[in-house]
Amino acid sequence: MHIIWDLNMTHRFCMEKAIRYLSWGLLSVCFFSPQVSALEKNHAAPGFELHGLDGSVKLARYQGKLIYLDFWASWCGPCRQSFPWMNEMQAKYGAQGLQVIGINLDVNAEDARQFLTVTPARFIIAFDPVGATPRSYGVKGMPSSFLIDPEGKILFEHIGFKETDRVHLENQIHTFLDAKK
């Protein structure tokens, strides 16, 4: 198995975490290519109910909204880069029906809380330390994001995050919000 390491996280990554993530089937990387998913476009997004910062987070509760669902971990460098962009998207498009939901996959919740202290989220955060949700979505790398339409169907998937992705991802969100009007 080949793992592509993000240089920003190499010095902070711990083999114990890699073993834990691999044990529940999520390839422990911050960026993996090519983009592969167990879910296809227009496939129903798997439901979930997880503990969140502000109580229970249930996917079905956001039906009727365009959902940007992001899987992340504290040790992932590209995840750290994506948070300001996701905050910006939530602020810019929230009134038009976008809801960003970040699902943290750290086994230790304190790692996630420390990350959020340094890199705050202005969107919904949920925790899945056992990895059931990323398995149901076929997540292969981190961060991985899915755009889910108001009826609960997957519109697209994106793996990784780099500065050059910002415009493309925002264009996808904008296109789907415009189509909803």
Q: Where do the domains of the chain lie?
A: 7-180
**Confidence (pLDDT) at 18:** 42
pLDDT bin (cut points 50, 70, 90) of residue 8 is very low
Does residue 166 have a pLDDT over 90? yes
**Confidence (pLDDT) at 181:** 64
**Confidence (pLDDT) at 21:** 44
**Confidence (pLDDT) at 39:** 61
Q: Please, what is the average pLDDT of the chain?
A: 83
Does residue 23 have a pLDDT over 80? no
**Confidence (pLDDT) at 136:** 96
**Confidence (pLDDT) at 42:** 78
Chain segment 74-120, per-residue pLDDT in tens: 999 999 999 999 999 999 999 999 999 999 999 998 999 999 999 99
Percent of the chain with pLDDT over 90: 72
| CATH code for the structural domain at 7-180 | 3.40.30.10
Chain segment 24-57, per-residue pLDDT in tens: 344 333 433 333 344 667 789 999 999 999 899 9
**Confidence (pLDDT) at 5:** 35
Does residue 69 have a pLDDT over 50? yes
DSSP letter for each residue of the chain: ---PPPHHHHTT--HHHHHHHHHTT----S--SS---SS-TTPBPPP-EEEETTEEEEGGGGTTSEEEEEEE-TT-HHHHHHHHHHHHHHHHHGGGTEEEEEEE--SSHHHHHHHHHHS--SSEEEE-TT-HHHHHHT--SSSEEEEE-TTSBEEEEEE---TTHHHHHHHHHHHHHHHH-
**Confidence (pLDDT) at 179:** 81
